[in-house]
A = this chain, B = another copy of it.
Amino acid sequence: MTDPLRISATYRLRVAAPDATHRAQQLALEQSIEMLATSVNDPHVLDTMVARVDNVATDGDGTHTARLALSAETIGDDAGQLMNMLFGNASLQPDVELIDVEVPAVLAGVWGGPNHGIGGMRRYTGALERPLTCTALKPIGSTIESLVHLCSVFSDAGIDVVKDDHGWANQRSAPFAERVRACQKAITRSNAARDRCTLYAPSLYGHFDEMRAQIELARREGVRLVLIAPMVCGVATLVALKREFQDMMFIAHPSLGGLRIAPEALFGKLFRLFGADAVIFPNHGGRFAYPREVCRAIARHNTQPWHDLKPTMPTPAGGMSVERAAGIVGEYGRDSMLLVGGALLSAREQLAARSTEFVNAVAMAAEAVTA
């Protein structure tokens, strides 16, 4: 059971065994009132605001796990303030990692999770049963003509989501407004000839007001899905955008997410909580070093029942290939989206054929999984 007034946060402490309990108590003060409890006069502050150490345990590897109960009242409904309380100052102390978080139902309701989640990703694309396919528009610096060509090839091949690389902002070579208009137009044209729908996801940049204007522009062009990096723009910006644009879907990019916050907690839970419909994470065996179990835990946290939050589409990525598609489907199952980017583009003149191969590999692997 979750205490309705407390957030449960679990930390790994890398300290000597005799210091573990004291370190946990220090952490509880650091992540709540930022001062000694003995200097506090107000009993309300002591009872309600100070984080409570619920448990300290020593693990097999000699590190310690400390479970703290943070006061929900310290958060004031702000997503950024949750990050402050979970790991703000602790991020500056190298002996501590945040490894898990659980929020009370009332805070889950405050942020509310994805607008649409996996169900929406399926409805909008028409891919009702199988894993989704996703690729990226690369490289930044390309001309709009080149991007339009890529959009047509990918969409004609039946890839479900074509997203901007997160490196796309408002570069002179392809300014946001022109890029979005041209890419969405190419994809709309390709969609018209078919019974399914490829979605184009432009990359948002800047602050809340700029992103809001970008979404308004993109929606007018028919865009229903956008890419956002919550650790770059701030998690409160994601929350505010998904609230304001309830018909839109948001793919969260992990950029700048390499804090000492466990990927299972950040990409598995927090991004879902704040409203990501799909979450990109570095898959094992690619360019990034997350172990397989971490990746599986991210996907599990994205999809399993959690308060009343819709499930979020897990999107393994990062150096993936068409050859690995069947294995990835076998691992994550139907409720996943496979993102293969650079590996498609390396086919050069065979881009269309390789894209079709990707789509077919996922569809075939999905049948094997459901069989």
Contact = CB atoms under 8 A, between A and B. Distances in A.
Interface of A: 26, 30, 32-36, 38-42, 44-45, 48-50, 71, 73-78, 80-81, 83-85, 87-95, 136, 138-143, 146, 165-167, 169-173, 205-210, 229, 232-237, 239-240, 254-260, 282, 287-289, 318, 341-342, 345-346, 348
A199 to B, nearest CB: 20
A254 B92 contact: yes
Contacts of A42: 139, 141-143, 146
A236 B233 contact: yes
Contacts of A282: 92
A167 B140 CA distance: 38
Contact of A232 (B84, B93, B205, B341): B84
Given A80-B205, A208-B209, A85 B167 contact: yes
Contacts of A83: 232, 255-256
25 contacts: A34-B341, A35-B138, A42-B142, A42-B146, A73-B141, A77-B170, A78-B170, A80-B169, A83-B255, A84-B229, A87-B256, A88-B167, A90-B258, A91-B256, A92-B318, A95-B289, A206-B240, A207-B207, A207-B236, A207-B239, A209-B209, A232-B234, A233-B236, A233-B237, A234-B237
Instruction: From A73, A139, A167, name the one whose CB has the most chain B CB atoms within 10 angstroms.
Output: A139
Nearest to A206: B236
Contacts of A84: 166-167, 169, 229, 232, 255-256
Contacts of A36: 342, 346
B258 A140 contact: no
Complex A-B, nearest 8 residue pairs according to Cβ-Cβ distance, in ascending order: A91-B258, A49-B141, A33-B139, A35-B342, A88-B255, A234-B234, A207-B208, A208-B208
B234 A207 contact: yes
B258 A237 contact: no
A173 B33 CA distance: 14
Contacts of A166: 84, 88
Given A258-B260, A289-B93, A140 B32 contact: yes
Contacts of A207: 80, 207-208, 234, 236-237, 239-240
A144 to B, nearest CB: 12
A39 B345 contact: yes
Given A35-B139, A209-B209, 4 more contacts: A33-B141, A45-B142, A48-B141, A83-B256
